[in-house]
Every structure is written in C-alpha cells, then in structure tokens.
Amino acid sequence: MNIELENKLINNHWILYKSLRNDDSRLPFPMFGIECDDGWYEILDELCRHLESLIDEKYPELKTDFFVDQIKEKYGTLSFYVSGANDEILNLIDEYEMVSSTRCEACGRTGKLTEINGWWVTLCDKHIDERKIRNTPTPLTN
C-alpha cells in the first residue's frame, strides 16, 4: 500500500497505531507495514472501525492484549492476522477477508478472484487484462 494511505489508516485507527509500537518488533506488521495494494484501503478502514467499536463497546478488556500482527495479500485475498482476539472478532475479520475476494486489490472496484500465471489475485477486468499483458513473455529475437 502506498505510504500515504498506510499512514492515514495508522493515524485514524488506534488498533494499528498501538500495534506498531508492540514490544515484539519481529512481527510482520511493525516490520513491513500493510502488504497489499491500495484498492483494499476501504476494506481495511471499515474493518478497523468495526474492530475498534467492538473492542471499545463490548470487549474493553481486550484492549491491552489485542494486536494486529500482519496485514497482507495471500492467495489473492486479504489476510489480517491478530493476537489477543476472541471468536467474535475473528469471525468479523473472516467476513472482511471474504469481501476482499470481490474487490480489486489495485483499485477497489468490483473484482474477482482469479489465477494469472500461477498467482491468485483479486482484480477487476481492467487490471486482470493489464496483469496478463505485463506477464506475457516477450519472444526472443536473434
């Protein structure tokens, strides 16, 4: 994710800000940040808002031990790893991970989970075509 969008998410959501300051700096989120493209910004923003509301209003006792460990694309969908969560929080995360399989990771428009040259991606038709063109091998010339 581009640094401006990533910083906007971090500055707007205490769960991300707090997780960056986790004592275990070996975790992927503090080390690598958000490892997906800009099109999933809205999904992440909404997920973080829902997680914060759920923790603030229903599970305040989780605030101390809840951390975001990693945010990335894996097999074409969002993977949002946390520690210190309960089943309700994990189910909410699962719902948003499923939503990512219908939104283009590049632009956020309606997309589909598809395989291109052995890689699973969720992209809109435009970005699928661009990716296929970019990954087409060029013929060797003598």
Crossing angle of helices 41-57 and 87-99, in 10° steps, is 160
Cβ density class 75-88: b for 16+ within 10 Å, e for less: ebbbebbbeebeee
Can you give the pLDDT at residue 12?
98
Answer whether 106's CB lies under 8 Å from 39's CB.
yes
Can you give the pLDDT at residue 131?
85
The answer to whether position 140 is within a domain reads no
Can you give the pLDDT at residue 142?
47
The answer to whether position 67 is within a domain reads yes
Can you give the pLDDT at residue 141?
53
Can you give the pLDDT at residue 63?
95
Distance separating alpha carbons of residues 50 and 73, to the nearest angstrom: 20
The answer to whether position 141 is within a domain reads no
Can you give the pLDDT at residue 98?
98
What total number of domains does the chain contain?
A: 1
The answer to whether position 142 is within a domain reads no
Mean pLDDT by groups of 10 residues along the chain of 142 residues: 97 94 79 96 98 98 95 98 97 98 98 93 95 63 50
Distance separating alpha carbons of residues 53 and 56, to the nearest angstrom: 5
Distance separating alpha carbons of residues 8 and 34, to the nearest angstrom: 12
Can you give the pLDDT at residue 3?
96
CA distances from 123 to 5, 27, 60, 131, 134 (A): 19, 28, 37, 9, 14
Domain of residue 84 covers 3-135
The answer to whether position 75 is within a domain reads yes
